[in-house]
Amino acid sequence: GLTGQHVHVSHICDAQKILAMHRWKEHGIGDDVMVIFKFSEGRAENYQIGVPCEGDWELLFNSDAELYHNDMDGTQLLDCQAVNEPYDGHPASIKVNIGAYSCLIFARRT
């Protein structure tokens, strides 16, 4: 999905400086990717983001993971289960924990 030509910015929150985008090539398992950025201090917990479908979303990258530096907090360490709750113009949504000045990348697995 990250090599796909299709990009849709589906979420912008000026107050918390959070942006989310959907990227894909042809849609489907392993091809739909959600990239979530937080460009400000503080963590956002149980933050809702719309995704293109229900099912399992695997966390592929967390720039806040402790493996990059001991000062990191590793806020989001788990995959997500998208539920049938429309949000951001998408038919489903996930809830994430995202650290300050960080990026999460999720790929659709089921």
Q: Measure the CA–CA gap between 66 and 8, rounded to whole angstroms.
A: 30
In this model, does residue 65 exceed pLDDT 70? yes
Among 22, 39, 38, 82, residue whose Cα is nearest residue 58: 82
At 73 the pLDDT is 60
Q: Measure the CA–CA gap between 33 and 69, rounded to whole angstroms.
A: 25
At 110 the pLDDT is 79
Specify burial of residue 49 (Cβ count, 10 A radius: 0-12, 13-18, 19+): buried
Count other Cβ atoms within 10 Å, centred on residue 15.
6
pLDDT single digits (tens) 1-60: 677 789 999 999 999 999 999 999 988 887 899 999 999 999 999 999 999 999 999 999
pLDDT single digits (tens) 80-106: 999 999 999 999 999 999 999 999 999
Q: pTM for the full model?
A: 0.88
pLDDT single digits (tens) 43-52: 999 999 999 9
Distances (CA, A) of 91 to 40, 86, 103: 28, 4, 23
Token match 């796909």: residue? 4
Please provide the average confidence, as pLDDT, over all residues in the chain. Answer: 89
Q: Are 59 and 33 in contact (CB under 8 A)?
A: no
